[in-house]
């Protein structure tokens, strides 16, 4: 097997100042792994996301509500500036947090940047979280949202054959 080694990657001698600040702050906090989900979510909300990118201008940001397995699911649509009139490619984005943490609002600027840099319509999904919801329910939320995009694509201005997840 061939081993690939980058000729340009270099090991940093020190942490980026923002990463060092986050590491120092995290060292003073109780690890999220030692918290109940509700407590971990509250701590995450209080701390915010120090790595969140800057907000960027969008042509529009709209919330859609659709029926899911256990009630209404919210999906936020990010329409980038200077879009074409034809059906556009789309990205279905699921926020991070290991299926336990994270919110649609907490990853708002991430979705904005994805729309701008990808020059595509981004749909950021809100889904039920563990441990209140088992994995099958979380995955079902994702599938329900994907099917909504797939079958409603032209009405949403997107090409159902060009949906990335």
Q: Structural domain boundaries of the chain?
A: 17-47, 60-164
Q: What is the pLDDT of residue 20?
A: 83
- List Cα–Cα distances, 70 to 19, 23, 58, 80, 129, in angstroms: 39, 38, 31, 31, 12
pLDDT in tens, the chain (165 residues): 666 676 676 777 888 887 887 788 777 777 777 889 888 888 878 877 777 889 999 999 999 999 887 789 999 999 999 766 789 999 999 998 888 888 999 999 999 999 999 999 999 999 998 999 899 999 999 999 999 999 998 799 999 999 999
CA gap 117, 105 in Å, rounded? 19
Class of domain 60-164: alpha beta
Answer whether 73's CB lies under 8 Å from 144's CB: yes
Q: Dig out the tokens for 160 from the structure.
A: 């159902």
Rounded to the nearest angstrom, the gap between the alpha carbon of residue 101 and the centroid of all alpha carbons in its chain is: 11
Tell me the two tokens of residue 82: 């200077």
């Amino acid at each position: 097997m061939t081993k690939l080694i980058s000729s340009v990657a270099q090991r940093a001698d020190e942490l980026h100042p923002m990463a060092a600040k986050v590491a120092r702050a995290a060292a003073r906090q109780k690890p999220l792994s030692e918290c109940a989900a509700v407590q971990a979510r509250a701590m995450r909300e209080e701390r915010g996301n120090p790595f969140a990118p800057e907000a960027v201008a969008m042509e529009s940001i709209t919330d859609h509500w659709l029926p899911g397995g256990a009630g209404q699911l919210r999906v936020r649509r990010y329409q980038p500036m200077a879009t074409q009139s034809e059906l556009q490619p789309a990205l279905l984005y699921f926020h991070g947090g290991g299926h336990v943490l994270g919110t649609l609002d907490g990853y708002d600027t991430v979705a904005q940047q994805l729309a701008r840099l990808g020059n595509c319509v981004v749909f950021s999904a809100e889904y039920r979280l563990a441990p209140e919801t088992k994995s099958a329910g979380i995955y079902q939320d994702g599938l329900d949202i994907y099917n909504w995009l797939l079958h409603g694509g032209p009405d949403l201005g997107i090409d159902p054959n060009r949906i990335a997840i």
